[in-house]
Amino acid sequence: MASKKERLRDARERLKRAREQWDRASVASWEPVEAAECVTGCFYALENAVIAAALAGGLKGTKKHWEKEELAKQLVSEGKLKTDISDRLNELNSARKDVQYGAPGESLAEIDLEELVSEVESFLDEVDDLVEDIEGA
């Protein structure tokens, strides 16, 4: 098991990567809109943020998408986070797959990109607050 210092370092690295992905996704939400890039970037930013929160909280990370959804639920049920993004992860994963397989359907068109980018930013801030709280403990 990694030490608290190592876990927090790894969590910060994941959160930094999530912020970079969010930043690119934000730009993709502007005109000319690149919806597929925005959704994909937001999806990966959320996944990295979930792993950052898990690592900071002493939980084991995972590479499997569905397990990250479960981790998101667990972090809320344990009171580490307030926002359950498991359904959003599932939605974005489906939209991302549609894009990658060359069939971006209605699911992509139905996503409000401005709302999504704002939601992801708020979640990243929430995870950042969690990491800071654990660092200060």
Count of H helices and E strands in the chain?
6, 0
d(CA 73, CA 81): 9
How many residues can be counted in the chain? Answer: 137
Q: What is the CATH number that goes with domain 4-136?
A: 1.20.120.330
For residue 13, give both structure tokens.
């690295």
Q: How confident is the model at residue 19 (pLDDT cuts 50, 70, 90)?
A: very high
Residue in the block written with tokens 């797959």: 97
Which of 40-44, 49-53, 109-113 comes out lowest in average pLDDT?
Answer: 109-113
Q: Is the pLDDT assigned to residue 11 strictly greater than 70?
A: yes
CA distance 38 to 56: 27
Comparing CA positions, the residue from 49, 51, 41, 56 lying closest to residue 124 is 49
**Average pLDDT, rounded, for the chain:** 93
Question: Cβ atoms within 10 A of the Cβ of 15, count?
Answer: 23
Spatial CB neighbours of 70, under 8 Å, sequence gap ≥ 6: 86
**Which residue in the block uniquely carries the two structure tokens 């009171």?**
79
